[in-house]
């Protein structure tokens, strides 16, 4: 019977690490004609590495200490990279207070009475003016595909971090499979235009950069208003609103609890090729049912 066929497809998917929250999701997936994906942790490994620490009014160790202190407790991939680097280099991690994530922008906290903000250049630029020579250095890092975060101590630039996150090995192939099924693919990222384009052109995907979580959600809604049926793929860090707005929200890999709660589906192995497989599963199952 039909319910039996749906149950069979759901369990076949589950064996391959493709988890769908019920038959309605399985039915809807085959209608997807647009797949929007986050960059960090979705199209990329999400295991970024701190490659550059550039002190401007501090020392490397002190920069790392302040950054790691306010990133402690955050599960953002950039936070994990900073804390890992501090531990590797034995930079002390002092206690911090009032740590808070600023979705799509950065993280802030109080370290020994100093207000510390670690943020994207755009967000930092709203707090203080960024000198031209610093902008130039940031641009060079971006062209190397690196994400830059600026550390402000009491509102003044103390230094900058360059962080690189490699594309997932199967990202290019996974996107190619979607495109060969006439599915439009779009990268949505809070990262800056230059870094996003460096990665987007390697992967062959349309890029929308410099987005806040609410902008990502607005783009999903706009695509829907144009009549598109949209799947949004993300790890859910900062991006739960867009996952929720999409026709199908898909949590990627070892995503956050928030992502798993908000999403309609999850790919456990974190492969980009799994997205096409999941849509294929739906098309095959529904073809069988007729
Ligand atoms: P993405 O859309 O690629 O997942 P986010 O929206 O999470 O990126 O973040 C956008 C930008 O804000 C990052 O590229 C980074 O510069 C800054 N940022 C966000 N969260 C953090 C953090 N925890 N530590 C440092 N920088 C951060
Ligand atoms: Mg993100």
Predicted ipTM of the assembly: 0.95
Mean pLDDT calculated for residue range 217-238: 93
Grade residue 262 by pLDDT with cuts at 50, 70 and 90: confident
CA distance 216 to 243: 9
Query: Is 79 touching ligand 1 by the criterion CB < 6 Å?
Result: yes
Pocket test for ligand 1, best of 82, 119, 207, 213 (most atoms within 8 A of CB): 119
Domain ranges in the chain with CATH number 3.40.50.1000: 2-45+167-289
Q: Ligand 1, residue 74: give the atom nearest the CA.
A: 23
Chain-centroid distance of CA 197 in Å reads 15
pLDDT for residue 119: 97
Domain ranges in the chain with CATH number 3.40.1110.10: 49-164
Residue with tokens 């962080």: 163
Task: Say yes or no to pLDDT of 254 above 90.
Answer: no
Mean pLDDT calculated for residue range 211-229: 96
Task: Say yes or no to pLDDT of 106 above 70.
Answer: yes
pLDDT for residue 261: 79
Task: Say yes or no to pLDDT of 1 above 50.
Answer: no
Mean pLDDT calculated for residue range 232-261: 83
CA distance 127 to 195: 22
Query: Is 216 touching ligand 1 by the criterion CB < 6 Å?
Result: no
Residue minimizing CA distance to atom 27 of ligand 1: 106
Mean pLDDT calculated for residue range 254-283: 86
Cα of 10 from ligand 1 centre, angstroms: 34
Task: Say yes or no to pLDDT of 122 above 90.
Answer: yes
**pLDDT cut 90: percent of the chain above it:** 85
Contact 164, 4 (CB under 8 A): no
Q: Is the pTM of this model over 0.80?
A: yes
Does 249 or 253 have the greater pLDDT score? 249
The token pair that represents 103 in the structure block: 């979705």
Mean pLDDT calculated for residue range 266-286: 94
CATH 3.30.1370.110 fits 49-164, yes or no: no
Contact 117, 151 (CB under 8 A): yes
Residue minimizing CA distance to atom 13 of ligand 1: 191
pLDDT for residue 107: 97
Q: Ligand 1, residue 216: give the atom nearest the CA.
A: 2
Does 48 or 289 have the greater pLDDT score? 48
Give the chain's mean pLDDT.
Answer: 94
Query: Is 37 touching ligand 1 by the criterion CB < 6 Å?
Result: no
Does 153 or 239 have the greater pLDDT score? 153
CA distance 46 to 128: 29
CA distance 75 to 251: 15
**pLDDT cut 70: percent of the chain above it:** 96
Pairing of strands 106-111, 206-208: unpaired
Query: Is 70 touching ligand 1 by the criterion CB < 6 Å?
Result: no
For residue range 77-93, list pLDDT tens digits in order. Answer: 999 999 999 999 999 99
For residue range 9-25, list pLDDT tens digits in order. Answer: 999 999 999 999 999 99
Pocket test for ligand 1, best of 104, 232, 239 (most atoms within 8 A of CB): 104
Mean pLDDT calculated for residue range 143-171: 96
For 2-45+167-289, CATH number out of 1.10.10.10, 3.20.20.70, 3.40.50.1000, 3.30.465.10 equals: 3.40.50.1000
| Residues 119-132: b if buried by 16+ CB within 10 A, e if exposed | bbbbbbeeeeebee
């Amino acid at each position: 019977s039909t319910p039996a066929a749906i149950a069979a497809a759901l369990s076949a998917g589950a064996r391959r690490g493709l988890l769908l929250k019920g038959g309605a999701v399985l039915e809807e997936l085959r209608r997807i004609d647009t797949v929007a994906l986050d960059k960090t942790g979705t199209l990329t490994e999400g295991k970024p590495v701190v490659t550059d620490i550039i002190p401007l009014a501090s020392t490397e160790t002190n920069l790392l200490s302040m950054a790691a202190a306010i990133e402690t407790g955050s599960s953002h991939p950039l936070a994990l990279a900073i804390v890992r680097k501090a531990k590797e280099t034995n930079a002390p991690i002092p206690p911090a207070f009032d740590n808070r994530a600023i979705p799509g922008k950065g993280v802030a906290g109080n370290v020994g009475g100093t207000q510390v903000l670690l943020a994207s250049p755009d967000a930092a630029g709203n707090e203080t003016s960024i000198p031209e020579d610093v902008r130039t250095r940031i641009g060079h890092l971006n062209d190397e595909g690196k994400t830059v975060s600026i550390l402000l101590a009491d509102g003044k630039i103390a230094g900058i971090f360059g962080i690189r996150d490699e594309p997932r090995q199967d990202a290019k192939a996974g996107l190619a499979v979607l495109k060969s099924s006439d599915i439009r693919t779009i990268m949505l990222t809070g990262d800056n235009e230059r870094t996003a384009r460096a990665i987007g052109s390697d992967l062959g995907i349309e890029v929308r950069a410099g987005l806040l979580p609410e902008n990502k959600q607005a783009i999903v809604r706009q695509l829907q208003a144009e009549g598109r049926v949209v799947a949004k793929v993300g790890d859910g860090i900062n991006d739960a609103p867009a996952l929720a707005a999409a026709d199908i929200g898909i949590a990627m890999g070892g995503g956050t609890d928030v992502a798993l709660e908000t999403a309609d589906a999850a790919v456990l192995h974190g492969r980009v090729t799994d997205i096409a497989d999941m849509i294929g599963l739906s098309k095959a199952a529904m073809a069988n049912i007729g």
